[in-house]
Chain A
Amino acid sequence: MDAAIEVADLRKTYRGRRTGEIRAVDGVSFRVERGEFFGILGPNGAGKTTTLEIVEGLRRPDSGTVRLLGASPWPHSPELTGRVGVQLQASAFFEFLSAKEQIETFAELYGATRDRAAEMLELVGLAEHANVRCEKLSGGQQQRLSIACALVGDPELVFLDEPTAALDPQARRNLWDLMRAINAEGRTVVLTTHYMEEAEALCDRVAIMDAGRIKAVDSPAGFVKGLDAPTRVTVAAGQLTDERVKELAAGEAVTADGAAVVFETRDPRKLLTALASDGALEGLAVRTANLEDVFLHVTGREWRA
């Protein structure tokens, strides 16, 4: 079976009269397997949306090739678009229609039933807002409606461009559950995000993108492992003598100030057991390396989402 997505050496340069040339996508290649949850992580302007738009078939690249479910997204064919669901970064709705009318229109275009439309509205938690005009929905509700429209055609492959951008923490968690469920049913999901923890929580594999290029692709765990970074263990100061701190550090880095002692250890289990037996667990915080450290490592730049 073909891969869900195969992209080779995509390039896209925007030419504006005032802005000059912007290399939005600069030699991007990646492959997404069927059923995979694939994330593209990167700061503003990294080229995530442009890449997605090219893969979806909204933009033509200057060069490079795209295979989507084994076919070319260009020219458009109903056979292909019927199998793909898309949520664009900017929500796009028919003016003056209610949420229900909106999704029913999309359902009709995808040849899906009204029941399916109602089901999707329910799924994204908009059932009680069904009769509200789209423009009167809050930003997060619009986002969810747009996701419902992406799912209404029962797609095999779903593109979600920053789906959680306008959501409150609770809605974000709900949407995470929803995205996991979508993926668990065997649909391939491609997600872009600014949020490290989102990519970490959801994705099978993550591509780290910066300045138009994909810097690295790996699973979140693989990234962290490959980083080989120490775990930072923090406890409140004043519970350990200076000698004991030195002893516990066992030659690894440790910093202490008036408020806290921070160990950087590669054997957190041993350190934590020792701290527990000393009864020195007040103010305990354990921070393992995460994608933020990975981003710093991969791009040489501090993460500033």
Chain B
Amino acid sequence: MSLDTETTPRARVGAPRGKAFLSLFKALGRGWLRDRSQVFFTILLPLMFMVLLSSVFGSTGGSTPRVLAVGEVPVLEGADPDDVAVAAAADLDEALALLREGEADAAVVQDGERVLIYPSPTSSTSGAIAAGEISALVDDVNVEVLSAAAPGEPVLTAEVEEADGGALRPIQYLAPGILAWGIAISGVFGAAGTIVDWKRDKLLRRLRLTPASVSTFLGAKVSVNLVVALGQTAVFLAVAALVFGLELSAWTWFAAPLVLLGTLAFLAIGVVIGGIAQTGPGAAGLSNLVTMPMAFVSGAFWPLALSPEWVQWLSYLSPMRYLNEALQAVVVYGEPPGAVLPQIGFLAVFAAVVAAVSWKTFRFDEL
């Protein structure tokens, strides 16, 4: 047993910085790829959310209202099957039961000149849409009757001109939001979990005693996270486009710098959480506590305009709001990077402030 110092030249100063960075990047990257829970969390979970949300929103937004005709309903006879799907019900009781079960969006009874509409009690939105369609049919009939009675008398007509070449299909609206959310959770949970791991396994302390500097190590760790975020974005947008029919604009590539900037901001939040938490479950709990409200007030899952005013105010504090807005602008609306400068500015300031806070509050001797 001997350590042969003749054949192995003495290492004195250790590897040069660039080489040390590459070794650490390789080691950490490999570790990431082998951690199944990380892969699930960053890649699969956002995709699952996309499936879930697009089917929820897709079912109300896209389909035609289903209307039950109770007995004879002459007003429905002129209905275009593209606007309303009409089915017959034997009597009112049966129709109301079907409404309660969500089998139809409205029921209609016609008694001479009176048209009675029963919108769905279970789904107010689709009920209202169905009721609107029926009112429009009633109006059409009235216009016909009036024009026949007083020919030559002008009547008003309304035409709908669709903005942005048509209403946003749910996927166009949801994809940027879910992507922003995916970036947020992998950044926050990832950084918080890593810091807590380091507190436990003391890896950082061991590395501090190698010739590689701590900053090289932290740089490698952040770089792994940035590369992961880019991969996550690419996979997500590809699946959204190929499977869910998301239409990508020519400016979609600008999602890359946006996602990198967002990741820096969320990593900084995670570092603050990791500094406070002492255990893995503690870090996960705190991360949830921060990311859930951040997501809810961000407008990522439903339009901010539908939220109460105080939520709209709070949303100004959520970095997810800005990432979501910026991604939506460049990926979906095809706006050039110049149009999202305010969002970029906010994210940059946010990342810098939180990073400064984490730097100030972090107790390095815990690592």
Could you say which residues of chain B place their CB within 8 Å of the CB of A261?
none
Could you say which residues of chain A place their CB within 8 Å of the CB of B3?
119, 123, 151, 154, 181-182, 185
Bound CA span A2–B35, Å: 47
Compute the total of residue contacts between A and B using a CB distance below 8 Å. 121
Instruction: Check A76 for interface membership: any CB of B closer than 8 A.
Output: yes
Could you say which residues of chain B place their CB within 8 Å of the CB of A83?
12
Residue of B whose beta carbon sits closest to that of A112: B11
Q: Which chain A residues (255-292) contact chain B, with CB distance < 8 Å?
A: none
Least Cβ–Cβ distance between B69 and chain A, in angstroms: 63
B27 touches A97 (CB 8 A): yes
Bound CA span A97–B2, Å: 27
Bound CA span A106–B365, Å: 22
Other-chain residue from B1, B35, B202 in contact with A92 (beta carbon distance below 8 A): B202
A82 touches B5 (CB 8 A): no
Could you say which residues of chain A place their CB within 8 Å of the CB of B365?
59
A177 touches B14 (CB 8 A): no
Q: Which chain A residues (81-107) contact chain B, with CB distance < 8 Å?
A: 81-84, 86, 88, 90, 92-97, 101, 105-106
Bound CA span A83–B11, Å: 8
Other-chain residue from B31, B202, B206, B210 in contact with A97 (beta carbon distance below 8 A): B31
Could you say which residues of chain B place their CB within 8 Å of the CB of A116?
8
- The CB with the most chain B CB atoms within 10 A, among A76, A82, A113, A115, is that of A82
Residue of A whose beta carbon sits closest to that of B7: A115
Instruction: Check B34 for interface membership: any CB of A closer than 8 A.
Output: yes
Residue of B whose beta carbon sits closest to that of A119: B8
- The CB with the most chain B CB atoms within 10 A, among A83, A86, A96, A101, is that of A96
Instruction: Check A302 for interface membership: any CB of B closer than 8 A.
Output: no
Bound CA span A252–B265, Å: 79
A58 touches B35 (CB 8 A): no
Instruction: Check A35 for interface membership: any CB of B closer than 8 A.
Output: no
B11 touches A178 (CB 8 A): no
Residue of B whose beta carbon sits closest to that of A153: B11
Given contacts A82-B14, A97-B30, A111-B19, 20 further A-B contacts (CB under 8 A): A57-B208, A76-B208, A78-B14, A78-B211, A78-B212, A78-B213, A79-B12, A88-B205, A92-B201, A94-B28, A95-B31, A95-B197, A101-B30, A105-B23, A109-B15, A110-B15, A111-B15, A119-B3, A154-B3, A154-B8
Interface residues of B (CB under 8 A from A): 1-5, 8, 10-16, 19-20, 23-24, 26-28, 30-31, 34-35, 197, 201-213, 365
Q: Could you list 9 A-B pairs, sorted by A, with CB under 8 Å?
A: A82-B13, A86-B206, A95-B197, A96-B30, A111-B14, A111-B211, A116-B8, A181-B2, A185-B2
